[in-house]
Structure 1
Amino acid sequence: MSVVRDDVTQSGPREGAGTTFRTVEWIGDAATGRLRMIDQTLLPTQFVEIDCDDVESVWQAIKRLSVRGAPAIGVAAAYGAVIGARSRGVSDPHTVRQALSQAAAHLSTSRPTAVNLFWALDRMQAAGDAALAGRQPLLESLLDEAHAIAEEDRAMCRAIGRHGAELMTDGDGVLTHCNAGGLATADYGTALAVMFSAHEQGKRLRVFADETRPLLQGARLTAWELVERGIDVTLICDNMAAQVMKEGKIQKVIVGADRIAANGDAANKIGTYGVAVLAKAHGIPFYVAAPSSTFDLSLTDGTGIPIEERDPREVTEGFGRRTAPEGVAVYNPAFDVTPAHLLAGIITERGVISPVDSHTVRTLMGTARASS
């Protein structure tokens, strides 16, 4: 893995970055190219891009959250599969296909909750089989498929933004949790795409961003993106959400998702479930925004969604400073599951699912991912 630093390292957002940065992109051709990603662990104080040219560096980037957000993880894994496929040479197509399988198996162990990871790797395996059966250039076909996954995600995010913007009213206060913007996808975001699109339509929104403990994705990433876009954003601690709702400052809540079951139960960053309960108590509609690639129709409900538990040091030594006594027990789940009955709707590229139940999910998402 190599590091590509931006020309200017500063404490605030880069001017114009809201329209120019690429969270994940491929540099070069299939045989010698590399994967370039923003290292999100360093934002907002540093803008650094990392180049990956082996599978292990892609795995590490996903594991340590240099790249994060379900759609972005899927895109990164797809490009990582291309890198892995060429790792044992490219002269023999069968060797390339075997290397692809090994790379996909390894990348699939990086993080368990975001279903886009497995969805993208399944697509890459299928593309490899099709190219081998059709005697097509295998490595080039794999890169084409990875590009297609990235481009489809960009299109889906834009469509999510358009559908979600119709739900926004000029002057709305909107609460969001974690980061579901361009940094979490190939381009425009999911939950933040709704805000970006509404803003582009001239609707004035006031966004409240939960800081999102313990890794502060809301403070470090969401606030950064919204400031860059010129959208009114106020950062709050996670435990302030109820008070802000009580004061009447929130009219809608919109979050992203990492995996959605067939009944609409949605896994998202830890703390989302609590926000949904608060929204219900205050009569505020709570929306999830996600592409069809985030649905896992093989799961009847959210009880089957695997929940990643992360390093206790994220809680006891966040950002390098110890804030808890040595030896204290820590429970650090990275996600929770919000039950479908708390959702006013799920905003997808195909439209808004409402009411949220098994029937409406399957009616709109009948061709979404059906196995894990």
Structure 2
Amino acid sequence: MKINGTHHRTIWPDPANKEEICILDQRLLPHRIVIEKLRDPEDAITAISDMYVRGAGLIGATAGFGMYLAALKAPESGFSSFMNQYSDALGNSRPTARNLKWAIERVNREIDKVQTVGEKREKAFATGCEIADEDALFCRKIGEHGVALIAEISRRKNGEPVNILTHCNAGWLAFVDYGSATAPIYAARDAGIDIHVWVDETRPWNQGARLTAWELQQEGIPNTLICDNTGGHLMQHGLVDMVLVGSDRTTHTGDVANKIGTYLKAVAARDNGIPFYAALPSSTFDWNIDNGFDIPIEQRSENEVTQVMGLDATGAMSNVTLCAPGTKAANYGFDITPSRLVSGLITERGVVDANRDAIHKLYPEGAGTGKSEFQA
């Protein structure tokens, strides 16, 4: 997608040196546009754990390239042992998003298919690139399938603006390109459908305020930032036509793990008869967990709740403390929206009901395998 009119992905190998991986430092957006380079496998772990990169698809792509950087560093004697140890460390950098370990598993499967260390390094690089390209492709296809839902609402409203509420950032900044929840929005814009997006601020990291609103502005999509507690009021007054969110992990039975606060939006949507959709590529499915409440929920530093970062009057980035010294805070990163509250899942293969039978019918090769490495 675009920054100041120029197309960017969120992660890419440096064209001048493919042993360096470029990323946008999302901690500084929208106030600073800074490109960081991952040169060491530990850099990938730091980028994920400290949220230089975030979002299910981008975490997976970063993990794929992190495995490549590890392959470059791994000694010829003890290559497999080094890669196994790194896989464990990388896999523990954040616990909730399924795409992280999915990408690690995929690279390990591919490098096991070749013999020499040189071949393994080339295979790791190729697989990292494939993961990134596939993520962008699948998100584009999510847009192609999801736009029909928006078009139907537009028809019912006789062309009046379709008001979409989204939570957190499931845009191109959370993936490699297009995004999941934003892909149908961009497709609707391209189809000439009049749309408007309500953007939750998404405390405590404010990914909606810092990222989604800025991203939509860059793409010329009308949007309005709201505090997290406003959505229910808007729904009660007929100002929301659909809720469209992403997912960091979705069970094969249809439960959705997404940024904390998503569940409350789903409850409010159900109470007001508003459709609630989650958009996700198949790499986000977990084929081994039946109940969403078994998904590990990340708990992060309480400083992210008690402090907020922004641009001060001098133009400098600074942290501000919001509460009294010594205040204790809980910082759960995600919550679970049960499948009964989900109107449907928008995937690269189409829109599917959020239940086991429908998901397994759409992805028969995934059932019971613990894998989701599919071709659209």
Which TM-score applies when normalising by structure 2? 0.90
The whole-number CA distance in structure 2 between the counterparts of 1:184 and 1:71 is 6
Q: Deviations over 1:151-195 (max 9, x none)?
A: 111110010000000100332100000001110111110000110
Q: Post-superposition shift, 1:244? A: 1.1
Q: Post-superposition shift, 1:371? A: 2.6
Match of 1:123 among 64, 82, 106: 106
SS in 2 for 1:146: helix
Q: Which residue of 2 aligns with 1:23?
A: 10
The whole-number CA distance in structure 2 between the counterparts of 1:366 and 1:115 is 19
Q: Which residue of 2 aligns with 1:166?
A: 148
Q: Which residue of 1 aligns with 2:125?
A: 143
The whole-number CA distance in structure 1 between the counterparts of 2:285 and 2:365 is 10
Q: Post-superposition shift, 1:301? A: 1.6
Q: 5+ unaligned residues in a row in structure 1: which ranges?
A: 1-12
Q: Post-superposition shift, 1:29? A: 8.1
The whole-number CA distance in structure 2 between the counterparts of 1:179 and 1:367 is 30
SS in 2 for 1:206: strand
Match status 1:96 vs 2:82:
no
Cα contact 1:180–1:189 (8 A) shared by 2: yes
Q: Post-superposition shift, 1:39? A: 0.4
Q: 1:135-284 alignment to 2 at 5 Å? A: 137-169=119-151, 170=154, 171-284=161-274
Q: Which residue of 2 aligns with 1:328?
A: 327
Which letter does structure 2 place at the counterpart of 1:102?
Q
Which letter does structure 2 place at the counterpart of 1:126?
R
Q: Which residue of 1 aligns with 2:314?
A: none
SS in 2 for 1:132: coil
The whole-number CA distance in structure 1 between the counterparts of 2:195 and 2:365 is 34
Identity of paired residues, percent?
40
Match of 2:34 among 48, 51, 70: 48
SS in 2 for 1:234: strand
Cα contact 1:292–1:368 (8 A) shared by 2: no
Aligned-residue RMSD, C-alpha: 1.7
The whole-number CA distance in structure 1 between the counterparts of 2:192 and 2:80 is 50
Which letter does structure 1 place at the counterpart of 2:301?
D
Q: Post-superposition shift, 1:64? A: 1.1
Q: 5+ unaligned residues in a row in structure 2: which ranges?
A: 155-160, 310-318, 372-376
Alignment coverage as a number of residue pairs:
352
Match status 1:306 vs 2:296:
yes
Which letter does structure 2 place at the counterpart of 1:235?
L
Cα contact 1:86–1:96 (8 A) shared by 2: no
Q: Post-superposition shift, 1:131? A: 1.5
SS in 1 for 2:298: coil
- Could you say if the C-alpha distance between residues 153 and 14 of structure 1 is closer, same or farther in structure 2, counting changes exceeding 3 Å? closer
Match of 2:358 among 357, 360, 364: 360
Match status 1:339 vs 2:323:
no
Cα contact 2:71–2:120 (8 A) shared by 1: no
